[in-house]
Amino acid sequence: MNTAYALKNVNLIHGDANRNLQKNMTLLVNEQGLIQDIGQDHELHIPSHYTTVDLSGKYVMPGLINAHVHLFADGKPFSLSVSEGMLQFAYDRILNTPFGRRMLKKRMKRNALTALHAGVTTMRSVGEFFYTDVQLRDEINNGEFIGPNLLVSGFFLSVTGGHGAPYLALVGDSPWEARRNVRINVKHGVDLIKICVTGGVTDAKMVGEAGRLQMTVEEVAAICDEAHKIGMRVAAHVESTEGVRVALQGGVDTIEHGAEMDDEIIRLYQNNPNALHGYTALIPTLQAGYPSASLDTSVTKVSQTVKENSRLVYDSMLQSMRQAVENNITVGIGTDAAMPFVTHYDMWREMDHYMRQNNLSNKHVIDMATRTNAKILGIDDVTGTLDIGKQADLIVLEQSPLEQIEALSDISMVMVKGNLIDKPSVTRIPEVDAVLDSVWVN
């Protein structure tokens, strides 16, 4: 049972772009970790057993929701040009051993806690090894440690030679094999299905391979049918226009990364009869593509092939996002944390990137990272805004993120399911921060 809290004298940001900042507010959080009441300081009675926390002058908003992360790495640069033999050796002799699995789980837990202390109270993990993400989610939900709300996908679903295969993916080469792989993941307790419709930058061997179509419409449709019949969403890694078309026609619920759209694609995002809820949302990951695309290879240590693929993917992804905003397509925010130069503690950089490249307001990107993300992920009944009856997933800030989004880089307190972290601590990666601080989008 949690402590009951009264958070007093706060500047309240609801997370909903249609609601304005409210000053001199008090939130009551009950022992079940739910928001019991919200009201003006002078109007709200605080029960005697509540612990009062005076937050005079501070800002309280919903915890951030990162809709696209991987927990297996922390954002330090790593080589994207490793031979197949080296990968096989590392997987067999290091990662897929009892010691390797223990170290992996320890690292994933550390990354999840880093994100939580940086204000991310909910994470959607979209591809991990050995269902370690399922284990961590269950340990958090069973109260073994205080962690973020985790939605997990386990292994990717891919094809022979496809993105993530064979180490990070279950491989299938027909609609029925694809269905079987959905069933395997469901049996292992995942919350969603993640598929790879096209190639990706991280394992492309030549320029243009990152967006090469790998799955058929029939395979995507079989996966979506199998997942949707039990109410489970399907997220699709896609990095080309034709890949987006195939994924949408098959009925996926989110497009991860994305690519330039045509009229048919725009219509399918807006009204997708094969998606679980009749539409498909876009989750761009701009920060994941930008450093490799824009920085000199002497800084990023990537090959020229990776740099060129990153540039092609980033440019198309950015155009896709601009088209989505112009056409009122639902857009969420995910960072692709774990990729080189994408840490688990700087989601504000992705939000800042959105604002500078799309002329979006602070209030709009905060809505996207809270309320809209919760809706896309299907958890808006429990989190995403600060409303009575929802989980107390919130962050406390000294400065207003409505005025400066970088205020989100300095979190004073975090609360997840009513558990208060009053002195959050984040271990930063100075060499990554230094590179990112030097990069400003034109």
pTM of the model: 0.96
What is the per-residue pLDDT for 441? 46
Residue 107's contacts (CB-CB under 8 Å, 6 or more residues apart) are: 71, 72, 73, 74
Residue 292's contacts (CB-CB under 8 Å, 6 or more residues apart) are: 80, 201, 300, 302, 306, 307, 310, 340, 341
Distance of CA 142 to the CA centre of its chain: 23
Residue 426 Cα distances to 122, 336, 430, angstroms: 17, 19, 12
Query: What CATH number was assigned to the domain covering residues 5-62+385-421?
Result: 2.30.40.10
Sign (positive or negative) of CA dihedral 206, 207, 210, 216: negative
Identify the three-state secondary structure at position 397: strand
What is the per-residue pLDDT for 301? 78
What is the per-residue pLDDT for 442? 44
Q: How far apart are CA 15 and CA 122, in angstroms?
A: 14
The three-point CA angle 109-114-116 to 5° equals 95
The three-point CA angle 124-244-210 to 5° equals 80
Residue 36 Cα distances to 5, 388, 393, angstroms: 10, 6, 13
Would you state the CATH architecture of domain 64-377?
A: Alpha-Beta Barrel (3.20)
Please, where in the chain does CATH 2.30.40.10 lie? 5-62+385-421
| β-strands 22-29, 5-12 pairing | antiparallel
Neighbours of 197 (CB within 10 A): 34
Residue 361's contacts (CB-CB under 8 Å, 6 or more residues apart) are: 17, 355
Q: How far apart are CA 48 and CA 185, in angstroms?
A: 47
Per-residue pLDDT tens digits of the chain, which is 442 residues long: 689 999 999 999 999 999 999 999 999 999 999 999 999 998 999 999 999 999 999 999 999 999 999 999 999 986 555 566 767 877 878 888 999 999 999 999 999 999 999 999 999 999 999 999 999 999 999 999 999 999 999 999 999 999 999 999 999 999 999 999 999 999 999 999 999 999 887 766 777 677 899 999 999 999 999 999 999 999 999 999 999 999 999 999 999 999 999 999 999 999 999 999 999 999 999 999 888 878 887 787 777 777 887 888 899 999 999 999 999 999 999 999 999 999 999 999 999 999 999 989 999 999 999 999 999 999 999 999 999 999 999 999 999 999 999 999 999 999 999 999 999 999 999 999 998 988 764 4
Please, where in the chain does CATH 3.20.20.140 lie? 64-377
